[in-house]
Amino acid sequence: MSKIKCALIGPGNIGTDLLYKLRRSEVLEPVWMVGVDPGSEGLARARSFGLNTTDGGVDALLAHIAADDIRIAFDSTSAYAHAENARKLAAHGVLMIDLTPAAIGPFCVPPVNLDAQIGRRATNVNMVTCGGQATIPMVAAVSRVQPVEYGEIIATVSSRSVGPGTRKNIDEFTRTTARAVERVGGAARGKAIIIINPAEPPLIMRDTVHCLTVDAPDQAAITASVQAMLAEVQKYVPGYRLKNGPVFDGRRVSIYLEVEGLGDYLPKYAGNLDIMTAAAARTGEVFAREMLAGRWQLPTHLATEAIA
Amino acid sequence: MSLQGRKIRVHDMSLRDGMHPKRHQITIEQMKSIATGLDEAGVPLIEVTHGDGLGGNSVNYGFAAASDEDYLRAVVPLMKQARVSALLLPGIGTVDELRMAADCGIATIRVATHCTEADVSEQHIALGRKMGLDTVGFLMMSHMAAPEKIVEQALLMESYGANCIYTTDSAGYMLPEDVGARVGLLRDALKSDTEIGFHGHHNLAMGVANSIAAVAAGAARIDCACGGMGAGAGNTPLEVFIAVCERMGIETGVDLYRVTDVAEDLVTPILDFPVRIDRNSLTLGYAGAYSSFLLFAKRAAAKYDVSARDILVEMGRRKTVGGQEDMIEDVALDLARAKAAA
């Protein structure tokens, strides 16, 4: 089966873990890793896997897009860098999957709204945040049963799994996640809390979802919906587990989750990073299948240059 | 060492940490009357917000009787000499709430992180300083890190712009020598014009002794709560600390009789239960668990028919940190399941 060729931008922890996942894909073939630092360990690793690499940033990649038939790019740089990367690659007709908090394109949480993104022919989708990927499926599992007045998520992550970018701008995490709890999760109002825990050995990511339903919760329907959603997420994150709940207390519905990663490049406790890269890979694969089936047409004014 | 003539500032916690035993239900009228009493008694600094700081309103921590903004707008204009502070935990509140609180007229912002995670406070401390606020870095659960680590983290906060650094005994776990070691090293390592503060909890009855140890080691700000109204067995009781300071010649500028009256006439009558050392609050200090877990553990214990003490010990064993209230129901459910299987 032929594969859709893709590029990874940003050879850090996230980009490298994503590379491990894409190398296993039946429909995606990672061919380029793009960085800006010649000494980057991530670029060296990508080279050892047989990828083409450049330390010249996205500008150095542009010349190869048509020749190497790159159709999808994954950006795990920073919100700041993403805006420019997105503009340049969009002009070359490359579909962008954004793992930064830039959120230029619509939020994408695969089991909730990936189909809708394909339906609306999005050309740039944003993967929200790690906490968002872990919890929003469950907010949606409740809101698809009955209206949710308020959705709140608490993501607790190991100190070792939180990089300097997130630490420098932790407000971005809480704001973006809260917004996606509303827009994708379907809660009328959203709130997000992140707790960083330094325990050794590092704790596996924990996530708690609290929903306040408008009317008394339909316990049987919500429990069934939560179980169904659990199975959906487990398709791409096998270590996604329901530890307790759903607990019903008046109008409160609480769901207690644990996310263990696959341990590809990042350790298993870093389920927060794993669910991000797994969701991005899943998103890329679904788009790739559309492309392979001939159902995905790049915008024609852009595609001529890219595919010619 | 004589502390005669040492000048310090006390910072009252009853209207912020005291929100925990009140399930964040202190009314605006009660806030106004207690704050006015403290102001008249000469207390220089008073903290007012949700117990978990700005943005704390949530299912996880509880929704307060009024918004942070309403509390601040009610209290700040009434103060004749006292200045009002707000607490902010990055990850819970954001710079948006900091801007709101500054607009309400707070003089001090206290940015709190777990004692090893100071680097999440950079944007909030930098903004506080830029807005001209007295900006405090607040290292919670300080018993969980060695004094050298506390210093390393304090230096980060100082570099972001904090002009005062607290070592905070959120679990009421520390003993006087633990406090003295941390404050002493901080005093040596930080700039001479950076103040050091200590925030204690009374879970092992060490609130006053620990605070005196902090003063002896160079702390210039001490957190206390009028009537002891704070999380767990409460904070260092303000009126007791003031009395001890008077005996030792430490100058606080607070009128002892007036502050004892505020405790007795205004704070004690609004308590829902006596804030004191009992088997559960003692367990917080013994197990090293965050003091705000107390009421959540009691409620979960009652709901799932397990012991609150067992919950708190398990929370300590799991090395939970401040803000992990969500894990209490999770632990209670695990304990109930284990009990049913036994």
pLDDT, one tens digit per residue, over B272-283 is 999 999 999 999
Give the three-class secondary structure for B340: helix
Nearest CA-CA distance, residue B329 and chain A, Å: 9
Q: Which residues of A are less than 8 Å from B323 in CB distance?
A: 154, 193, 195
Inter-chain touch B94–A150, beta carbons under 8 Å: no
- Angle CA A212–B25–B51, to nearest 5: 85
Inter-chain touch B91–A254, beta carbons under 8 Å: no
- Per-residue pLDDT, averaged over B298-311, amounts to 97
Which tokens belong to B336? 């109930």
Residue of B nearest to A202 (CA): B319
Residue A244 has its nearest CB partner, among B123, B144, B333, at B333
Q: Which residues of B are less than 8 Å from A254 in CB distance?
A: 59, 326, 329
Q: What confidence score (pLDDT) does residue A301 get?
A: 44
Whether residue B324 lies within 8 A of chain A, CB to CB, comes out as yes
Residue of B nearest to A196 (CA): B117
Residue of B nearest to A252 (CA): B59
Q: What confidence score (pLDDT) does residue A210 get?
A: 98
**In 3D, which of B247, B231, B220, B255 has the Cα closest to residue B172?**
B231
Nearest CA-CA distance, residue A259 and chain B, Å: 15
Upper half-sphere CA count for residue B313 (Cβ side, 13 Å): 8
- Put simply, the chain A residues between 224 and 283 with a CB less than 8 A from any chain B CB are 243-245, 247, 252, 254, 256
| CA atoms of B169 and B184, how far apart (whole Å) | 15
Nearest CA-CA distance, residue A15 and chain B, Å: 23
Residue of B nearest to A169 (CA): B123
Whether residue A212 lies within 8 A of chain B, CB to CB, comes out as yes
Residue A210 has its nearest CB partner, among B59, B119, B123, at B59
Would you list the DSSP string of B28-91? HHHHHHHHHHHHHTT--EEE-S-TT-TT--BTTTB--SS-HHHHHHHHGGG-SS-EEEEEE-BT
Inter-chain touch A256–B333, beta carbons under 8 Å: yes
Inter-chain touch A169–B321, beta carbons under 8 Å: no
| CA atoms of B85 and B48, how far apart (whole Å) | 6
Inter-chain touch B58–A208, beta carbons under 8 Å: no
Give the three-class secondary structure for B14: coil
Inter-chain touch A198–B321, beta carbons under 8 Å: yes
Q: What confidence score (pLDDT) does residue B71 get?
A: 98
Q: What confidence score (pLDDT) does residue A102 get?
A: 85
- Tally the residues of chain B: 342
Q: Mind telling me the catalytic residues of B?
A: 20
| CA atoms of B11 and B47, how far apart (whole Å) | 7
Which tokens belong to B63? 């929704």
Residue A175 has its nearest CB partner, among B94, B119, B122, at B94
Upper half-sphere CA count for residue B203 (Cβ side, 13 Å): 28
Phi and psi at A49, nearest 5°, equal: -85, 0
What percent of chain B is modeled with pLDDT above 90? Answer: 99
Whether residue B50 lies within 8 A of chain A, CB to CB, comes out as no
Inter-chain touch A208–B60, beta carbons under 8 Å: yes
Tell which wins on pLDDT, B188 or A266: B188
- Amino acid identity of B26? I
Q: What confidence score (pLDDT) does residue A306 get?
A: 42
Inter-chain touch A197–B330, beta carbons under 8 Å: no
Burial state string for A214-253 with b = 16 or more CB within 10 A and e = fewer than 16: eeebeeeebbebbeebbeebeebbebbbbebbbbbeeebb
pLDDT tens by residue, B145-164: 999 999 999 999 999 999 99
Would you call the peptide bond into A246 cis, given omega within 30 degrees of 0 as the criterion? yes
Which tokens belong to B197? 């503060």
Neighbours of A201 (CB within 10 A): 10
pLDDT tens, chain A, 308 aa long: 689 999 999 999 999 999 999 999 999 999 999 999 999 999 999 999 999 999 999 999 999 999 999 999 999 998 889 999 999 999 999 999 999 988 889 999 999 999 998 888 889 999 999 999 999 999 999 999 999 999 999 999 999 999 888 898 899 999 999 999 999 999 999 999 999 999 999 999 999 999 999 999 999 999 999 999 999 999 999 999 999 999 999 999 999 999 999 999 989 999 999 999 999 999 999 999 999 998 876 654 444 444 33
pLDDT tens by residue, B218-234: 999 999 999 999 999 99
- Angle CA A38–A40–A45, to nearest 5: 115
Give the three-class secondary structure for B310: helix
| CA atoms of A61 and A6, how far apart (whole Å) | 11
- Angle CA A169–B58–A163, to nearest 5: 20
Inter-chain touch A198–B320, beta carbons under 8 Å: no
Q: Which residues of B are less than 8 Å from A201 in CB distance?
A: none
Alpha helix (H) ranges present in B105-226?
A: 122-130, 147-160, 176-189, 207-216
Whether residue B126 lies within 8 A of chain A, CB to CB, comes out as no
- Angle CA B79–B225–B242, to nearest 5: 90
Q: What confidence score (pLDDT) does residue A297 get?
A: 65
Contact B319, B171 (CB under 8 A): no
Give the three-class secondary structure for A158: strand
Global pTM? Answer: 0.94
Q: What confidence score (pLDDT) does residue B342 get?
A: 84
Residue of A nearest to B323 (CA): A195
Inter-chain touch A203–B319, beta carbons under 8 Å: yes
Chosen from A148, A150, A170 to mutate, greatest number of chain B CBs within 10 A = A170
- Per-residue pLDDT, averaged over B39-50, amounts to 98
| Per-residue three-class SS string for A56-104 | CHHHHHHCCHHHHCEEEEEECCCHHHHHHHHHHHHHCCCEEEECCCCCC
Burial of A64 (0-12, 13-18, 19+ CB in 10 A): middle
Inter-chain contacts counted by CB atoms under 8 A, chains A and B: 94
Whether residue B319 lies within 8 A of chain A, CB to CB, comes out as yes
Bridge partners of B139?
B113, B167
Which tokens belong to B111? 């940015």
Inter-chain touch A244–B92, beta carbons under 8 Å: no
Q: What confidence score (pLDDT) does residue A118 get?
A: 85
| CA atoms of A130 and A271, how far apart (whole Å) | 9
Q: What is the ipTM of this complex?
A: 0.96
